[in-house]
Every structure is written in structure tokens, then in C-alpha cells.
Chain A
């Protein structure tokens, strides 16, 4: 599936991207968005259509199609989260080391695309679990190199916007996917194989768009620079800029109640019809989709860290509403809007902030460090929250999480004000 990007084109292997440093991109004037960002956004959109098609029908397929009992399916999640963190770091680091973010991203997308036809062959829970694990490996592998590509393609002052566009397109795909899947199932009852086949075709298309339309330039001159070592990658944390951002992502990640719990708490708080439960993630995604670009642009203007912290403030507000909102009919809407705002203000914005403090040749590894720190912290938080729920009950556990989040926010605000939100560490381009 994946074709190396340097195939058969002799001449100047790749032209550097013109739009990244458009002259006259002063404040107030907006440059056209880098085509690479749009291309990567398209790849993510297509890939998310493909993967969310599968995610949406999987429970139905397991229960109704195969007659299996999917309980206990999530048991390996903990173990897998660890592996996923390692894969992510590897993807980021290798992209730097080989100077080939596109190749690594391509392998990641290709691996996930390969999993879709494999689903046609897997008929037992362990086999399906293995395919899904492979799919997630592909996702882990590609995330950091892809974000590195976005950050390298966009002009430094426009990164918030670039990540905003990318995340919005990504989320749009996640919303289209289930729709497409259920349309297929309406046309063909029990046509799970048709869903998987279409999903495989869509995924293949995503890989093809990546191969054809994302330039695969090497990020550093091949010979003169020292190779990017693992030690140097990890050593990035010695720089105050990245260390602060990673620390903030870690601290705030440790106070973030995982989505599943938020939806569960919402379900307990609001007495809305039971069947809405499955729609709650869509509410968050819709808000994320609508706000990703505006908040990314806001981050470019007022500072990414400020918006990142603001996003967590929205999360804190969501916790507050869950704790005090009672059974007001508007509660679910408000909480989901805040939850989506949290994602829109933190997901891409964090990458934009981190990109500003990581030199170009370490971009993949640096972004992977921040992402992994956040993911591990969030996983630890969900374990902790589950335990707190057991000991104290749901509401006290949430109150504690809210308290911790407030303290962490205050701490991070101080951390940031120390360097006055300056985000202009030398770009080593």
C-alpha cells in the first residue's frame, strides 16, 4: 500500500514549500493556508470517515452480526495504553531521525488501512481485538509525524490556525463516518462486510492522498548535521520551553476526567431519554468541529498557552455544571458545548504551542513527548478517577477532580506568566 515518497522523481526531489514563509505576512494580513495542511486535513478527514465507520458498527457487528458478547473487551486497554505511548514516541523520533515524517505517517496510515480488510477475516473476539490493536498502533505511529508535518508546513504565526483547520477536518470525518456506515446498513441489512469493504476503500484513498499530495521533503540537510539521536530527542526536555509545556500538559492531564466518565456523569445528572446516551460523544464532537478553527486563530492572536489554559477553564466550568446544575434541561447542551470547547482549545493548540519551542529537526520527537505525556497523564487520571468513584462515589470524586484542576490551572498560569507568553524561540528552519 505505502509507496516511499522519493520514488522515481529524479530532479530536485521536492521543492520547499513556498507558502510557509510568504513575504509580507505581517500582522493583520492572513496568508493562504499551506496546501500541505489542507492535504493532511483531507487525509485525516478521509481516514476518520473510514475508522469511525468501523467504530460505529462494531458493537452491532459483534452482538448482532457475530453473536458475540463484547464485555471485558476493554480489559487490555490499560496494557495497550502503555504500548501506544511507546509507539507514539517511536513514530515521532524516527520521523526526525530519518528526516522522513511523511514516510512514518504513511506507514501509520497504511497500517490502519490494512486493518479494514483484515476485519473481514477476523470472526472471534481475540482476533478482532488484535486487528483493533494493530489499527491503534498505526494511529499511534502516525500522529506525531503528521503533526510535525503540519507545524513545519504552516508559517509560525499561523500554526494555531493550521492545527485548527486540521482538527476541524479530522472531526468532520469522525461525524461523517457513522452516518455513511448506517446508510450502508439501511441499504443492505446485516451488510457489515460491505461497511468494512467501503471503509477499506476509503482508507486506501486516504493513504493515496497522503502519498500524492503531501510533499515529502526531508526536514534537515542529509549530510552536514549530526544524526538526531534518541538522547537528543529526550534531551529536549532540558529546554525550559518544552519542559514547561510538557509539565503543564501532564499536570492538567492528571486532572482531566476521561470522556467516558463525563458522559456517564452527564447521564446520571440529566434525566434525558436513555437513547440519547449514544449521541453524547457526537455533541462534544460537533462543538469541537465548530470551534477548532476559531479558537486556533484566537490562539495565534492572543497566545496559544492562554487559549490552552482557557480550554481547561471550560472543562472546569463543565465539571462545575455537572456538580451544581441539577436536572436543568439545558444542562446536557451546556456541558457538551463546554466539553467540545475544551477539546477545540487544547488539542491542536497544544501542538501549536509545543511546535514553537521545538527546533525543526526535533519536531516529531518533541511533539510526541508532549502528546505522550498528556496521554499517560490522562490514563492515570482515569484510573484514579475510577478508584475515587469506588471509594467516595461519583459526585465527591468529581468535586475532587474539579478542585485539583483548579489548583493545576492556577499553577500553570503562574508557570506561564513567568516567561510572559513569549513563544518565539528561534525557528531552526
Chain B
């Protein structure tokens, strides 16, 4: 084949392949624009005042709105009594969110720059930024302690671009009383099976706080196994309690954890089921959800947990009794990361 012909083939291919590439980008871009327009049948969302301490004392939910429209991904609020009703949007965008006692933590993407950057911001009751902390990776979990004094969050870090498939997590703790910030829980002393333990492969995620504003529970992964750990913020230790337990969430009365558990025999892409653990008896109870849940649940009250499952437009929220009875009840569509306030 002559050089001329080869160059002709190359140029033709470049033109064709560029066309395919450009079409793909344009389509994706117009689809992104479409998501900024409200969808008929979707929940009504209007801009308004959002507070983390409901003024009239009536319980409210504050959450990330995923419904299409100009307020997509913003924090919105609805009365807890009518979760399906109109949503009031705050103008503050968050990927993950949690709130308690007038303190909010919002993990958000930063605009600008070529690569996506993320930060964690601590919000006061009026959603004013109290402090801001750069994140090393993609946000996945956020929690505030019941008293509003502690915050924790977890991000995914793709540490090594050569390895490609090597992901790790980083979990950070912030004490708002002292300002002490622990960028990585991995600096805490790990006590495993009664002995001090260390390993380069240690990962933490999914912190949940107790009402004493000092004790917390979290997931520790090492050596291909996950563990429930109980942590002590003052002693700066975490102690393993139990195997195969992820993303614990402590009930408001502090007696039970609901968590996701890898159940043997399930398909590898849907491996988790929700379980409850009684901390006094260490007895596990499977909850009535038959689908795989990849979320850290939140407690609506001492009897009910709420969690997200993938939906048609973002995620949908479901409510479920925490004692293994009942059936999952749809709570909200196009919604993620709810915080139940003033209940």
C-alpha cells in the first residue's frame, strides 16, 4: 500500500472517529442540560428558606434532592409528615449530607479546575459555612453526632493510577468543640482480637456516633475481611467487635445497630442485606428488605430505618421497621441522604 493511500485511510478514519466522539459528547451534554429542566410528574421544588432547626418544632426531613430541574442536587426540606409533598430548596448543593442538633455536614463538589475536587463543609442551622475541609477523593458517607458536636465523613481514593483497580477509603473525624481534625482514622490505634494491630491495607468507612459525643462505631477492612469496630475519640483507639459488618448506624436510643452484611451465596453485584444487631446480646436479626442495600441507613425514630436504593431518577428512599418485621415502604423518590430533624 502506498504511503498516500495509508494517509488517506488514516485521515478518513480520524474524521469518522472524531465525528462519533463529538456526537457522543454533544448528546451527553444535551442530556445533562435536560436534567436541569423539571420533569413532568416529578416533585415540585421551589427556592425558599431551609433551616436545620425547624422553627415551628414540627419534624422535618432535610435531604439531597435528585429530581430533575434547576434545584437538582441541592439540599431541600419537606415536612416529615408529608415526605411526598412539595420540596423547599436551599441553593446549597451536596453530594452527601447529614445533620443533627443544628449542625450539618455537606460533602460537595467544587466548581472550577480541570479535575473534580471535593470538600466537606460544616454548616450551621442556617446553612452558613462554619468550616471547610478539602477532600482527597470521592464522597461516600457523612455523619453528625446526635449532639451536633462531632462530624465524620468517608471518601474513596483511587491512590495509584498505574494499578487502576486499587481503591481505598479515607475516613476523617472532626471535633467541633476543640477544632481537632483527624484527616485519617488510620492514625488511631487498632485493637484487634485484644492485640494492637497494623497493616498497610487498613481501610475505615461508615462512622456512626453515640450520644455521649465520644464513642463511635465504624467499619474496618483489612486482609479481605470487614469488622465492626467501636472507637473512642479520647483514647484514640478502635476495637474490633465482630466480623462481616459494614456501614453501621446506631439507633437513637443507642441499643441497636442496623448495618449491611455480605451474605454468602448472593450474586457478587448485589451482595448485601440489611441486618440489625442488638448491642446488649450481640444477636443479629435480618430485616425484611429482600434487595441488596448499599447504603448507611438513617434512623427515622427508634423503630424505623430509612435507606436509598437506585431509582429511575437518582435514588429512591424506603422506610422499614428495624426489628425484622413488616415490608419496605417507599418514602420519597429522587432523594438521597435524608436527615430527620426535630423528631
Contacts and interface: CB of A to CB of B under 8 A. Distances in A.
**Are A and B a genuine interacting pair, yes or no?**
yes
A225 B118 CA distance: 62
A174 B160 CA distance: 13
A132 B163 CA distance: 11
Nearest to B268: A126
- Residue from B21, B197, B315 whose CB has the most chain A CB atoms within 10 Å: B21
Contact of A193 (B24, B95, B158, B224): B24
Contact of A213 (B6, B160, B224): B6
A421 interface: no
16 contacts: A52-B161, A71-B156, A129-B165, A187-B25, A188-B28, A191-B32, A194-B24, A197-B20, A198-B25, A208-B13, A260-B159, A263-B159, A264-B159, A277-B157, A278-B136, A386-B200
Interface residues of B, number: 61
Given A182-B114, A198-B24, A209-B10, A127 B159 contact: no
Contacts, number: 172
B140 A191 contact: no
Interface string B149-192: 00000001111111111111110000000000001000000000
A277 B117 CA distance: 12
Interface of A is mostly: helix
A185 B32 CA distance: 10
A4 interface: no
B160 A281 contact: yes
Given A71-B203, A389-B198, A390-B200, A59 B156 contact: yes
A385 B199 CA distance: 10
Interface of B: 1, 6, 9-10, 13-14, 17-18, 20-21, 24-25, 27-29, 31-32, 35, 95, 114-118, 134-138, 140, 156-170, 183, 197-201, 203, 205, 221, 224, 267-269, 294, 310, 315
Given A71-B221, A188-B32, 4 more contacts: A188-B25, A189-B32, A260-B163, A275-B118
Contacts of B168: 71
Interface stretch (A72-80, A296-304, A306-314, A354-362): A72-80
A132 B165 contact: yes
A278 to B, nearest CB: 7
A69 B24 contact: no
A2 interface: no
Nearest to A192: B28
Interface string A36-67: 00000000000000001001101110011001
Contacts of B9: 208, 212
Interface in A113-152: 124-127, 129, 132
B40 to A, nearest CB: 21
B114 A183 contact: yes
Interface of A: 9, 52, 55-56, 58-60, 63-64, 67-75, 77, 124-127, 129, 132, 174, 178-179, 182-191, 193-194, 197-198, 201-202, 204-205, 208-209, 212-213, 259-261, 263-264, 273-275, 277-278, 281-282, 385-386, 389-390, 393-394
A256 B142 CA distance: 37
Nearest to B199: A390
Given A198-B24, A198-B25, A275-B134, A70 B163 contact: no
A2 B116 CA distance: 36
Contacts of A72: 221, 224
B115 A182 contact: yes
